[in-house]
Structure 1
C-alpha cells in the first residue's frame, strides 16, 4: 500500500493553465499537455497556439499557455488584408506586425450593434491617445476594449466613420493612438449644357446674300451623378454613378439663298440717277437700311410697309435685305406706281 500511495502521489501534478491571459491552477493526473486540455474541455481551432506542444509529457509545476487565434484587418502600404493573430492586445499585435513597416494600422470592424470593434484590448500596460474631430484626448486605462475606450470619452462613431489603431509618435506619452476619421458619403447631381450644332442648306426661295433660320437650335442637357467621399472635411474620392444625356440637342438649320436678284427698270424707259435714290433714302430714313419707324410699321431705307415689300417680291423684313436689294425694290415700286409712294420726300426733292 505504501508503494501504491507513492505512485499515486507521483502521478498527481499541479500545473498553471493560462488561457488568453486568464490564469488558473489545476490539479491533475494527466500525463500530457493534451490530457490537461481535454480535461478542461478545451478544443484547439486551426489558428490557436499551445505551449509547450500538446504531445509533451506533463510535469508537476508546468505552465501551459493557450492563445486563441482571431482575425484582424491590417492596413499597410495603402492595402487592407485580414491576418490571424494570437496577440492579447493591439499593442502586442502591432509589435508582431512591425516587420510590415512603420505605417501598419489595425482597422476596426463593426459589431452587429454598429460599434467600432477590435477583437482584443488596446494596451495592457498603459494609456492610449485618441485623435478625433481635430483634437487629441488621452485615456489613462488602455486595458479595455476599443468600444469601451471610445464610450469613456463620449465619442460616437458614425456608420461610415473609420477607426484605426496605430503606433503613437515618439514622445507622445502613449504607445498607441486610436484615430477616428469622420467620413461623409453623398451623391451630387451636376447638370451641364450640350451645345447644338448648325448645318447650312441652300434655298431657291431666298435671294443670294439672304439667309434665315428654318430650325432654331436648342442646347441639350447632360446629367452627371457622382458619389463623393469626404474624410475629415477633405474630398477623398469622386466616383461617377451615372452619366446620361437627359435632353438631346436640336441642330440648327440655316438656309442660304441661291435666287438671283431682279433688275428694276425706271418708268418711261429712262433711268433715274443714283443720287436721287440716295437723297430719297436720306429723307425717308436718314440713309439707314436698318431703320424702323416709331410706329413699327415701316422699314428700311425707303420705309416700306410689309405689305408693299412683299408685293414687290421681298421676303422676311426689309431691314433683313441688303441696301442694294432695298433700292432695287424701291426702283421697281417707283416704276410701277410712281413717286407718289413717297409723297412728302418726293415733293421736297422736286419729284412731284
Structure 2
C-alpha cells in the first residue's frame, strides 16, 4: 500500500547516475526528434482509437489524463530516458496495474466531466451563429453625409432611434420608417429646410430637402431659365432656410403712340417693362394698369399720354326756405317775408385729354365766396271764407272755364294776367291777395273774384262775364 502512493522523489535509476537533467537540450515544437504532441481536445480524449476505456489497453507512448502511459523510450520531466516499462514509482507495469486495480472504479470520471463541457461548446457555437446572423451592415446617410455601421436594429425606425437621428414632419426618410432592414441596405435621411419664396410677386412658405438654391428650384418645379434670382443658384441652403425672390421670364405687350411692342422680361414692375420697351413717360403720362404693379405673362399695357389744364368756375349755392305760420293770413296763402339769396362758390376744375380725347372735368379745389341767405315765408292758417253776399248764386265755374279753361295756375301769353279768373297783380293786391293770383289756391281765387264782382260787377270780364248768369 505504501509503494502505491508514488515513487520516492530521491530515487534515481542507475542509468541516470551522474546525469544533470537541467542541462538537457530542449527541442522545438514540430522539429524532428521532438516530443510527440500529446494534446487532444476534451471530446477526443474520452476513448482510445480502438474504443477501449481510457487507461486500459492503451499502446505504450499515448498519454492520457493523469499521466498514465508515457511515450516509450521518451523522457519526461523528472525521468528523461525512462524505459517504457518503468513508471515514476519505479515499480514498472506491475505498479501501474496495481494502481489501476485500486482506482479502476474511477476510470469513467473523465467522460462524465467532459460531456457538459462539450454541450457548452455546442451551445456557444449555435449562439454565435445566431448573434452573427442578427448583425447587419447598413449605409446610413444623414443630410448628405454617409457612413457605414453595424446594427442589430430590425427596421428603419429602430435604427434611427439607436443612432439618435430625429426627424420632423418636413424631413424625408428613404426607405420609410418602419421598413425592415437587411444587411447591405441603404438608409437616407433628408432634412427639410424652410424657404420663403416670392415667385412672380406671390409669397409662399415652402419646405425643401435640397441643399442648394438650384436644387430647391428643381424640386419645387420653378422654371428658372431666363428668371431673375435674388441669390446665386449655387448658394447652399442651411437648416435655418433662406428667403428667395424669383421672377420668371414673361411676355408683355406695350402699346404707345400708335405702336405695339412685345418684350420678354423678368422685370418687377410695369414701369420697368415700359422702359425696357424703349418708351419714356413725360409729365402726367401714365399706364392703363398701375405702374408699380407686377407685370403678368401675356398682359397688354397701354401708355396714356395725358395733357391737362385748369379752369376756375363760379357756381351758385342754393338758399334754404324757412316757413312760419301766420294766423292773420288765410289758409293757402304764403307771403315771402324775407327773400332768399343764393351763395357763391369758386371751383377749380382739371381739364384733361387722354391720347387726344377730352375727359370729364375733375374738380380739384373749391373756395366759398359768399354764404347763401335763407328765405323766410309766412304761411296763412286763417280759415278761408266761402261765401260773399251778393255773389254766391253766380256761375263762377262757367266764368273760370271761359277765362282760363278751369286751370288755377294759368297765365296769359303776356304774363300780366293769371289764375282761374285772369286777374292782374294790381287788382289781386287790392282784393287782399298777396303774390301772384296763379300761386294762390282755387278757393282763394274764387273768393277774391266774388269780392271784385260785388265792387265792379261783371265789367272786369268783358268777354266772359255773361257766363256768370248763364
Pair in the same fold by TM > 0.5: no
Which structure is higher in strand share?
1
Query: Which of these two proteins has the greater Rg computed from alpha carbons?
Result: 2
TM-score (norm 1): 0.40
TM-score (norm 2): 0.32
Q: Which has the higher contact order (CA 8 A, sep 6+)?
A: 1
